[in-house]
């Protein structure tokens, strides 16, 4: 990986999906001294522009707008994991020898519709026939997971609120974040229920944003930079869409399986990870992901959170820039933005959000009810 | 009842207050909601079966913010319930105060019922026996 960039996340008034996408691509190419002419193919992530901006067939449209008319461009959709699945296709395309240099880019424009309409669009990532059709929402899905986790391990609403406080604290020094104000534990605890036991501050917001990466073969990387970041491992898995078909609700099988594949490919384990970005669409999701990836034993992530181990300066920093929770969650773009965060952290370019040790990083991106999960392990050029 | 079971008919049965599950013809496993392949053996030959209606509470939530369609029903419970026949389904919970969710107990006994919501839909629902 020789370049990685994201746009500002938030309610980007006056900007359309294509403009947000174009800005992300420009930041990852011309602003990073990578000529667009070198890009041979584009792997694009968008979740549901059909419902959000009334636009399908986004890949050729977006790549044309970004000034690369003619190259093969393919859209990837896996709900919130759309971005990471686009990255995986790019990795496979380079590994196969088909291309040397490719673009991974993703964007979502969500603020153009009402909150209820956005909620409806998001619900399309769950099973329409058996769960969302009876009024189960996304916060509800994670509310159910939270209830199971609380019952099994004694996790509390305050533990979840601590994740929100950490996210907002980290985002307060991230100029690209949607929310840049720290919040108190009381404020998080006092917010209203969205889907009991999850409150407003347990939920990621509705956001617009884009992100882009340039990947090239090991041989070509030196032509672009002295400090490329290596993809050490990648894993992906699927699981049942319906919660009721899961054997357990306190962990996500697809995340465990994707993590295992990625660790094996990288020949690394959870203890080797210096910095992690996990899919915290809801606070409980960060708790469960950090257990599914093996950082903590099941039920013990909350101890690490209480002890500050997952803070910026802790032994296992998680979501150092503020996560989906406070940076924002433009669904299709999130998986690519997570890779941008790890890229910057590994190169020591994360500014006030820099973690102390940064040889090896991991990104965990999952889709919808957890039915898709993608895990990517990255390594600094000299690590 | 000799027709091959379909998702459309499964949903119609709930709408008519006559819940039926699938039963795998290979291994007799009860499968609900419908799946194209049996969870136990992967078999794809299914028939309808009745269930006792007895189940236990696996997990639950209370929805306070909903899509437009359900907005007149909030706050409402959605729960995962494990049927006696060893398959779990998602349904509404009736007869409990949605503002006192901490009073419910995981593992409590429930029985299958139906609830006609303000949305006009009939939901699979569960209540205390
Ligand atoms: Zn079977």
User: Helix or strand or coil: residue B117?
Assistant: coil
Interchain pair A135, B80: CB under 8 A: no
Average pLDDT over residues A67-85: 98
Render the burial of A115-150: b for 16+ CB within 10 Å, e for the rest.
Answer: eeebbbbbbebbbeebbbbbbbbbbbbbbbbbbbbb
Per-residue pLDDT at A244: 95
User: Is B69's Cβ below 8 Å from some Cβ in A?
Assistant: yes
Across chain A, what does the average pLDDT equal? 97
Q: Could you tell me which of B79, B89, B5, B29 has the C-alpha nearest to residue A240?
A: B89
Q: Could you tell me which of A272, A380, A383 has the C-alpha nearest to residue A1?
A: A380
CB-side exposure of A216: number of CA atoms within 13 Å?
21
Residue of B nearest to A195 (CA): B63
How would residue A380 be classed by pLDDT, with cut points 50, 70 and 90?
A: very high
How would residue A354 be classed by pLDDT, with cut points 50, 70 and 90?
A: very high
Per-residue pLDDT at A83: 98
Nearest-Cα distance to chain B for A57, in Å, is 26
Contacts of A191 (CB under 8 A, 6+ apart): A199, A200, A201
Whole-angstrom distance, CA of residue A12 vs CA of residue A207: 8
Orientation angle between helical segments A283-292 and A157-171, nearest 10 degrees = 90
A-chain residues near B58 (CB < 8 A):
148, 244, 249
Interchain pair A243, B90: CB under 8 A: yes
Per-residue pLDDT at A69: 97
Interchain pair B70, A116: CB under 8 A: no
pLDDT tens for A315-346 read 999 999 999 999 999 999 999 999 999 999 99
Per-residue pLDDT at A28: 98
pLDDT tens for A282-295 read 999 999 999 999 99
Residues of A acting as catalytic residues = 80, 329
Per-residue pLDDT at A116: 81
Contact A83, A372 (CB under 8 A): no
Whole-angstrom distance, CA of residue B88 vs CA of residue B103: 22
pTM over 0.90: yes
Per-residue pLDDT at A241: 95
In a mutagenesis test of the B interface, which of A244, A248, A251 is the best target, namely the one with the most B β-carbons within 10 Å?
Answer: A244
Per-residue pLDDT at B3: 74
∠A177-A181-A183 over CA atoms, to 5°?
125
User: Is B45's Cβ below 8 Å from some Cβ in A?
Assistant: no
Interchain pair B63, A244: CB under 8 A: no
Using the predicted structure, report yes or no on whether residue B1 has a pLDDT greater than 90. no
Interchain pair B61, A244: CB under 8 A: no
Q: Could you tell me which of B96, B78, B27, B26 has the C-alpha nearest to residue A196?
A: B78
pLDDT tens for B74-112 read 999 999 999 999 999 999 999 999 999 999 999 999 999
Burial-class residue A291 by CB neighbours within 10 Å (0-12, 13-18, 19+): buried
Render the burial of B39-61: b for 16+ CB within 10 Å, e for the rest.
Answer: beeeeeebebbebeeebbbbbbb
Nearest-Cα distance to chain B for A241, in Å, is 11
Q: Please report which helix (H) or strand (E) contains residue B103, including its range.
A: none
pLDDT tens for B19-61 read 999 999 999 999 999 999 998 999 999 999 999 999 999 999 9
Q: How many CB atoms lie within 10 A of CB A98?
A: 12
Nearest-Cα distance to chain A for B33, in Å, is 7
Average pLDDT over residues A230-242: 97
Interchain pair B64, A144: CB under 8 A: no
Per-residue pLDDT at A245: 95
Interchain pair A129, B11: CB under 8 A: yes
Q: Please report which helix (H) or strand (E) contains residue B31, including its range.
A: strand B30-31
B-chain residues near A143 (CB < 8 A):
61-63
ipTM of the complex: 0.97
Whole-angstrom distance, CA of residue A375 vs CA of residue B4: 40
Contact B129, B114 (CB under 8 A): no
pLDDT tens for A143-172 read 999 999 999 999 999 999 999 999 999 999
User: Is A185's Cβ below 8 Å from some Cβ in B?
Assistant: no
Which residues have their alpha-adjacent CB atom under 5 A from ion ligand 1? B 24, 26-27, 29, 38, 40-41, 43
User: Helix or strand or coil: residue B17?
Assistant: coil
Residue of B nearest to A250 (CA): B59
Per-residue pLDDT at B2: 61
In a mutagenesis test of the A interface, which of B56, B66, B86, B96 is the best target, namely the one with the most A β-carbons within 10 Å?
Answer: B66
**From A194, A242, A244, residue closest to B64, measured CB to CB:** A194
């Amino acid at each position: 990986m020789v370049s990685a960039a994201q746009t500002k996340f938030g309610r980007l008034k006056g900007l359309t999906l294509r403009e947000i996408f174009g800005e992300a691509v420009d930041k990852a190419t011309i602003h990073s001294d990578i000529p667009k002419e070198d890009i041979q193919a584009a792997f694009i992530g968008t979740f549901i522009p059909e419902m959000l901006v009334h636009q399908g067939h986004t890949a050729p449209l977006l790549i044309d707008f970004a000034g690369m008319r003619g190259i093969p461009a393919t859209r990837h959709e896996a709900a919130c994991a759309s971005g990471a699945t686009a990255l995986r296709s790019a990795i496979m395309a380079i590994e196969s020898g088909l291309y040397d240099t490719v673009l991974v880019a993703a964007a979502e424009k969500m603020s153009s519709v009402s909150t209820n309409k956005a909620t409806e669009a998001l619900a399309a990532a769950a099973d329409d026939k058996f769960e969302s059709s009876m009024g189960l929402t996304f916060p509800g899905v994670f509310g159910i997971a939270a209830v199971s986790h609380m019952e099994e391990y004694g996790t509390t609403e305050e533990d979840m609120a601590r994740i929100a406080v950490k996210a907002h604290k980290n985002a307060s020094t991230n100029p690209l974040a949607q929310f840049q104000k720290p919040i108190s534990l009381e404020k998080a605890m006092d917010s209203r229920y969205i889907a009991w036991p999850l409150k407003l501050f347990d939920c990621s917001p509705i956001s617009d944003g884009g992100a882009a990466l340039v990947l090239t073969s090991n041989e070509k990387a030196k032509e672009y930079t002295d400090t490329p970041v290596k993809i050490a491992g990648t894993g992906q898995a699927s699981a049942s869409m319906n919660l009721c078909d899961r054997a357990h609700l306190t962990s996500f099988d697809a995340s465990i399986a994707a993590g295992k594949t990625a660790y094996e490919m990288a020949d690394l384990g959870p203890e080797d990870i210096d910095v992690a970005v996990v899919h915290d669409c809801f606070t409980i999701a960060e708790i469960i992901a950090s257990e599914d990836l093996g950082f903590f034993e099941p039920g013990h992530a909350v101890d690490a959170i209480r002890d500050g181990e997952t803070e910026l300066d802790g032994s296992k920093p998680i979501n150092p820039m503020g996560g989906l929770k406070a940076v924002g969650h433009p669904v299709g773009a999130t998986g690519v933005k997570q890779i941008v965060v790890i890229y910057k952290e590994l190169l020591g370019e994360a500014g006030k959000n820099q973690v102390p040790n940064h040889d090896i990083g991991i990104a965990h991106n999952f889709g919808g009810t957890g039915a898709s999960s993608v895990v990517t392990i990255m390594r600094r050029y000299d690590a | 009842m000799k027709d091959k079971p379909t998702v459309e008919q499964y949903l119609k049965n709930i709408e008519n207050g006559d819940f039926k599950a699938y039963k795998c013809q290979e291994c007799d496993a009860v499968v609900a909601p419908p799946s194209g392949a049996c969870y136990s053996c992967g078999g794809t030959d299914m028939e309808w079966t009745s269930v006792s209606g007895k189940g236990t509470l696996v997990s639950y939530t209370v929805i306070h913010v909903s899509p437009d369609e359900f907005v007149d029903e909030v706050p409402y419970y959605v729960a995962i319930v494990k049927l006696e026949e060893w398959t779990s389904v998602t349904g509404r919970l009736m007869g409990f105060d949605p503002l006192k969710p901490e009073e419910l107990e995981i593992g409590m006994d429930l029985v299958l019922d139906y609830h006609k919501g303000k949305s006009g839909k009939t939901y699979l629902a569960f209540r205390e026996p």
